[in-house]
């Protein structure tokens, strides 16, 4: 290990990881270091290893400038909303380099291990997740297929809020098997619903209401901060990856030129 290694920074960037996960991370970093015949494992190796574990390895793809621009605005939308809403997890990194199945990634990391998630936190998470799509809508006038995994995450989360965590006043403090994770597909198919058609309708209404409310919030935030969104998207197209310090810098510059 190089002397410069800052263990506190690594700990902050790996919340929720077990000892075995950390061992895997260090191992991955050592492989990267030995591949380039480096004398020691550095912070760069550890950071690359973490990206690989958390986001999947970088994927070499030919991407047109237009595609790049759409991805840049999409990720800038996530990033800007996460920065504007208080109480969200801090931005760690945003990139338009494809990793695994994703064309771009906005990585947020919680400050510490959390076990309780208040309703307001979950709502903001939905808002951040809808930010990519909202940015595409605002800038290009239409949405693309790029938001599919965001929408799945948003729908799952809103369903859990209503059906598992009693966070809807209209549905009340009850739980339903809907929104539960079923380890075996067969069980879900065979299960009885256990609630009325009327309740099923109300649940659907509430899930949609939560998501639409956050979508409106995302649209409004991006509309009101279009200059910052443009600044972030431009920087992403030029630099491809921005760390948290660079995001701050860009947002401050954009704020400084505001009339």
The catalytic site residues sit at 75
Provide the minimum distance between the beta carbon of 78 and Zn ion in the complex, in angstroms, as a whole number: 6
Q: Which is nearer to Zn ion, 56 or 166 (CB)?
A: 56
Residue nearest to Zn ion as judged by C-beta position: 132
With CB under 5 A as the contact rule, the residue among 51, 123, 150, 159 that binds Zn ion is 150
Q: Which is nearer to Zn ion, 131 or 179 (CB)?
A: 131
- Count of beta carbons in the 10 Å neighbourhood of residue 225: 20
Provide the minimum distance between the beta carbon of 102 and Zn ion in the complex, in angstroms, as a whole number: 8
Calpha distance 41→49 (Å, rounded) = 11
77 binds Zn ion (CB under 5 A): no
Q: Binding segment for Zn ion among 81-89, 127-135, 155-163, 179-187 (CB under 5 A)?
A: 127-135
Calpha distance 250→236 (Å, rounded) = 10
Q: Which is nearer to Zn ion, 146 or 179 (CB)?
A: 146
Q: Which is nearer to Zn ion, 88 or 177 (CB)?
A: 88
With CB under 5 A as the contact rule, the residue among 132, 163, 214, 235 that binds Zn ion is 132
Supply the DSSP string of 3-64, one letter for each residue.
Answer: TT--HHHHHHT-TT--HHHHHHHHHHHHHHHHHTT-SS--HHHHHHHHHHHHH--B------
Angle (CA) 205-208-213 rounded to 5° is: 120
Query: How many residues comprise the chain?
Result: 259
Calpha distance 135→143 (Å, rounded) = 9
Provide the minimum distance between the beta carbon of 79 and Zn ion in the complex, in angstroms, as a whole number: 10
Q: Which residue has the tokens 């109480």?
A: 87
Q: Using CB under 5 A, which residues numbered 10 to 49 contact Zn ion?
A: none
Calpha distance 105→249 (Å, rounded) = 19
Provide the minimum distance between the beta carbon of 148 and Zn ion in the complex, in angstroms, as a whole number: 9
Interface residues with Zn ion (CB under 5 A) are 132, 150
């Amino acid at each position: 290990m190089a002397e410069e290694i800052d263990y506190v920074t690594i700990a902050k960037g790996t919340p929720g990881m077990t000892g075995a996960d950390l061992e895997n991370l260090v191992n991955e970093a050592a492989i990267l270091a030995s591949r380039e015949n480096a004398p020691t494992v550095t912070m760069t190796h550890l950071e690359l290893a973490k990206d690989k574990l958390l986001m999947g390895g970088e994927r070499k793809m030919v991407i047109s400038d237009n595609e790049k621009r759409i991805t840049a605005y999409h990720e800038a939308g996530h990033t800007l909303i996460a920065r504007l809403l208080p109480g969200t997890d801090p931005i760690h990194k945003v990139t338009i380099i494809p990793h695994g199945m994703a064309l771009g990634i906005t990585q947020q990391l919680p400050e510490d291990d959390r076990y309780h998630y208040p309703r307001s936190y979950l709502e903001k998470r939905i808002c951040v997740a809808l930010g990519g799509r909202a940015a595409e809508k605002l800038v290009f006038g239409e949405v693309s297929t790029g938001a599919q995994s965001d929408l799945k995450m948003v729908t799952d989360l809103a369903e859990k809020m209503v059906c598992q965590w009693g966070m809807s006043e209209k549905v009340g403090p009850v739980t339903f098997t809907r929104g539960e994770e079923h380890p075996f597909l067969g069980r879900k198919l065979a299960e009885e619903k256990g609630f009325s058609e009327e309740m099923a309708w109300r649940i659907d209404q509430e899930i949609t209401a939560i998501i639409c409310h956050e979508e409106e919030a995302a649209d409004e935030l991006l509309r009101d901060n279009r200059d910052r969104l443009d600044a972030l998207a431009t920087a992403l197209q030029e630099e491809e990856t921005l760390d948290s310090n660079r995001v701050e810098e860009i947002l401050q510059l954009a704020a400084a030129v505001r009339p």
